[in-house]
Amino acid sequence: MQRLQGKTAIVTGGAKGIGAAIARRFAAEGGNVFIADLNLDRARETASEIAAKGGSATACQLDISDRAGVDELIAGIEARHGAIGVLVNNAGVNVFHAPLDLMDEDWDRCMAVDLKGAWNCSRAVLPGMVDRRYGAIINIISNHAFSVIKSTFPYPVAKHGLLGMTRALALEYADRGIAINAISPGYTDTDLAAAEFAKSPDPATARAQAEAKQPVGRLCRPDEVAAIAALLASDEARFMIGENIVIDGGVTIRMYE
């Protein structure tokens, strides 16, 4: 399918994991993809992989917490490639603490990236989308947007906020041709997850234990999240407004064991 043919898309945090999977899927769907990430070398690797398969991808270095940097990048892309059709706010950081152990700088970093960073990017692309009366913004959130695990503060605070921002902006711009939605993946099999397993004395057992907690018996694959993102970015989902699609293998509908 070529559902994104002729569309320019930006994927933040697109160098690896879920972001890279989304960038690959968008390119396979015909999109002109910009991979915006702090890690420029890794972003270039992903862009090269996409180009080798015939896709269109460009690597860009970006700190989404830097509003001026975000504005400069978006303006440059629009000047060279026209209006941006799709924004995926995927970049984020895990900041987990017991509340009273949290330092002010940890709180500020979490909010600056996981919440304000998504707003910085959205604010930069929205004027062009409004002018065209067309666009899609997809926020990659997490089950932390509506469920909470102890000792993960303040990450769920930011993610609850991002879900609220998704819904508020969705209503503001629904009548101007802009579809704004969110995806909440569960435990996903990324490099970050592998690194966490590697910290265990027995990584294989740690992985098996994590998988055993999932009703489907495995972790989510990044390409499964990318498939949902491709739908939300396409013209097939224009009547979907302010939704949060949960893809977690059934974790959040289970009570307790």
pLDDT in tens, 99-108: 999 999 999 9
Separation of alpha carbons 188 and 17, rounded Å: 9
* Residue range 113-161, pLDDT digits in tens: 999 999 999 999 999 999 999 999 999 999 999 988 898 999 999 999 9
User: Does residue 1 register a pLDDT over 80?
Assistant: no
b/e 89-120 (16+ beta carbons within 10 angstroms → b) = bbbbbebbbeeeeeeeebbeebbbbbbbbbbb
CATH superfamily of 8-188+221-248: NAD(P)-binding Rossmann-like Domain (3.40.50.720)
Q: Measured between alpha carbons, how far apart are the two ends of the chain, in Å? A: 42
Amino acid symbol at 53: K
Residues recognised as catalytic:
155
